[in-house]
Amino acid sequence: MKENNKIWLRYIICFGLIAILCYLFPYTGDDWAWGSKIGIDRLNNWFENYNGRYVGNLIVLAMTRSNLLKAVIMSFCLTGIVALCEYIFKRKWVFYVSCVALVLIPKLIFRQAVVWTAGYANYVTSMFFTLLFIAYVYPIFQETMPRRKVWHCLPLFVLAVINALIVEHLTIYNVVLACGVLVYTICVHRKVVASHVAYLIGSVAGAAYMFSNSAYHTIANNQDQYRQMAEGGVISRAFDNYVNEIAKHLCLNNCWMNLAIVIVCAMIYKKIYSDVNKNRSALLAKICLIVMAGFTTWSLLSSFGISTFAKQNRLLYFEAAFVAAYMIALIIYCIIIGSQKKCLWKVLFWNAGIVCVAAPLLVVNPIGERCFFATYILFLMLLLELLILLDGEEKESRIFTKTFCKTCAVVSIFGLGFYLNIFSSIYQVDKERLARIERQVEAGKTSVEIRHLPYESYLWTATPEWEPWIERYKLFYGLPEDLEIKAVWEYSKKK
């Protein structure tokens, strides 16, 4: 009972601290549209010819109408992801490792998927709901599956439908995931679980409803001004997307995650092959480790060196090939180690998830950093799986001691402090610039200046510099339609 109280206290503190941070996140970009008349018009039209993200759209409509509600939803899902990680792997230290991973998430993903409300409503919530199902089905990898109640069918069906109506590539992944779980349980356990079937039916039904929206017909015919699909040919589009976006955000920018994975893989290699004769599998594993170590070094140098925008095509092509080599090496290494430790399907499960989530992004345009929040979390799950292999089955861990957990807690707290410093400054300036504009409007001004926010690299479309953002900013904050807004870094004079 005392241990349960400590667990609850941990999560209450985690929830509270994250909620404070999320409260400081400003509304930016398309948040202004969702929180204004534009969002209501989209709702009244039931998002026809806009998109099929019906649940995600409803979530963002709610989040853009109350900053407090936004903070609560954000904190609940992020804390929930950490809790689900601990629930899946059943180790106390997983909580601390997961917190560190969230603190060290790449900035480009962080600003679009977490800080930006419209991005969060789709990309974080969908991953949270997906992890709920994964937590439910993960025991299929045990020798003996726990029995599932028939009444589970209804909540699993509802969860599947909800999850299918948030974001497209997770919709596709959930259909594939449900099929894979069903096939695995039939082949390995010789049984069909009714709740698994219910989730598959819900996923397919939700996907059918999502893609029945006329927006996708418009996109498929390349008649949408913003979104296109495979213009210039599927192969050409896939190549361009992979080289220019996917390679960068899937692996290359995840420098700290890459470093953690290669260190753990090296430790596992030493643990498995230290006392046995080296064979072909050991040699192949070593080659994979060399490739992974080389890529990790490159990703660290790339993250702290050359700006992505300054890279020439030759470098982009090389990095794209290096990412492919890294992923192949990682998968082969996991197959070798998984076969040795009799957990092949577990490690393949996470690797396959990463590939499956990223695959649909090959044929659509545009794609952004926010699309890779899910793959980042799946890389975290793979890291945790590898850490479980390293830790072994002993009740008292020799590696993940109290000192280790305290160190992770300190890193997480300092990381949170860093973000609180950044976003408290942003929050203050955001409120001040709006108050300044409102004072000028009351004074009869028809043209005003709006100051850029500090640390805008942590934000997505933070300042309305051109249309349609100027119009949407005015609608969101109830400013006069004919008001002229000019974005500046410093005000021309005090007013």
Q: In sequence order, what DSSP letters do the residues of 253-282 get, joined into one string? A: T-HHHHHHHHHHHHHHHHHHHSSS---HHH
What's the CA gap between 444 and 440, in Å, rounded? 6
Please, what is the angle between helix 168-189 and helix 373-391, to 10°? 30
**Pair 97, 387: CB distance under 8 Å:** yes
What's the CA gap between 334 and 348, in Å, rounded? 7
Classify 392 in phi/psi space as left (phi over 0), alpha (psi -120 to 50) or beta. left
Q: Which residue in 208, 202, 195 sits closest to 159, CA to CA?
A: 202
DSSP track, 64-75: TT-HHHHHHHHH
What's the CA gap between 384 and 407, in Å, rounded? 17
Q: How high is the pLDDT of residue 30?
A: 95
Q: How high is the pLDDT of residue 224?
A: 61
**Pair 122, 56: CB distance under 8 Å:** yes
Burial of 382 (0-12, 13-18, 19+ CB in 10 A): buried
pLDDT averages per 10-residue partition of the chain, 495 residues: 84 97 97 97 95 97 98 98 96 96 96 97 98 97 90 97 97 98 95 96 98 88 62 79 92 95 95 74 93 95 67 84 96 92 92 96 87 97 95 71 94 97 98 96 94 96 94 96 94 69
What's the CA gap between 123 and 373, in Å, rounded? 7
Q: How high is the pLDDT of residue 229?
A: 60
Rg of the chain's alpha carbons, rounded to an integer? 24
**pTM beyond 0.85, yes or no:** yes
Give the Cβ contact number of residue 91 at 10 Å: 17
Q: How high is the pLDDT of residue 401?
A: 87
Beta strands 364-365; 447-451: pairing state: unpaired
Q: How high is the pLDDT of residue 484?
A: 95
DSSP track, 351-393: HHHHHHHHGGGGGEE---GGGGHHHHHHHHHHHHHHHHHHH-S
Residue ranges per domain, the chain? Answer: 233-399, 427-486
Per-residue burial over 417-441, b if 16 or more Cβ lie within 10 Å, else e, is: eebeebbeebbebbeebbebbeebe
What's the CA gap between 296 and 285, in Å, rounded? 16
Q: How high is the pLDDT of residue 495?
A: 46
